[in-house]
Amino acid sequence: MEARRRAKRSGLSRRELARRLGTSVPQLYRLLDPANTRKSLGQLVGLLHLLDCDVRVVVSPRRAA
């Protein structure tokens, strides 16, 4: 959701965002779609970086059910 908000505020076209990310416009739309759960983490982090976001990934053990 944050990527979607920032992409809208960036003033850049979808085509320009895709070009800078090195991907296609349809792939960019998939990255920005909150319903799409099969995103490439690398591309999503790249997009967030392009949109001036810091990204932290935290790995922790699962809690017992």
Which whole number is the average pLDDT over 33-47?
90
The answer to whether the beta carbons of residues 17 and 24 sit under 8 Å apart is no
Which whole number is the average pLDDT over 38-61?
91
**What tens digit of pLDDT does each residue of 22-33 get?**
999 999 999 999
**Residue 38 clears pLDDT 90, i.e. is over it:** no
**Calpha distance 42→65 (Å, rounded):** 30
The answer to whether the beta carbons of residues 10 and 51 sit under 8 Å apart is yes
Determine the pLDDT at residue 37: 86
Question: Mean pLDDT, the chain, as a whole number?
Answer: 92
Which whole number is the average pLDDT over 2-11?
92
